[in-house]
Amino acid sequence: MAYNQETSCNIQNLRVMRWFETLEKWASGACAGHSAVFLRDPEGKLWLGESGHEDEKGNNLIVMLPWEVWWNYELTKDNNNPHIALLPLHPDLRAKFNETAAWEYARSMIGLPYSYKHC
């Protein structure tokens, strides 16, 4: 899947299902095991915000990664056979989307430990 700047929006939701999560979703009835968001910066660069990235101490942290870095990892190094769907915001929601507030929130989350208390 190639990233297309002309058709992408400011934010998208990513859903990734890996083999164990597929079993979890079958048992629980949920739709996906992992979600992330995409934000475009003022220069037009696309970023992915997600949790689960380990630091040198083994802590799972929330990060913002450039699209190219994340996508290259998924194509070449992710052994979990993920199923990825990029889901753009509905046009009505996109029209109301506050990009400044979204970036402020995303930046405030970088480096925090992954947990439900941040949701």
pLDDT tens digits, 65-111:
999 999 998 889 888 777 777 878 889 998 999 999 999 999 999 99
End-to-end CA distance of the chain: 29
Decide if pLDDT at 5 tops 50: no
What distance in Å separates the CA atoms of residue 102 and residue 104, rounded to the nearest whole number? 5
| Cα–Cα distance for residue pair 29/51, rounded to 1 Å | 22
Q: What is the pLDDT of residue 90?
A: 87
For residues 47 and 17, give the distance between their C-alpha atoms in angstroms, rounded to a whole number: 20
pLDDT digit string, tens, across residues 16-65: 555 555 555 555 555 556 678 889 998 999 999 988 788 889 888 989 99
Instruction: Extract the tokens encoding 77.
Output: 């190094």
What does the pLDDT read at residue 35? 72
How far is residue 115's CA from residue 91's CA, in Å, rounded to a whole number? 30
| C-alpha to C-alpha distance for 82 and 37, rounded to whole angstroms | 16
* Structure-token pair, residue 66: 């450039």
Which residue type, as a one-letter code, is found at position 54? Answer: E
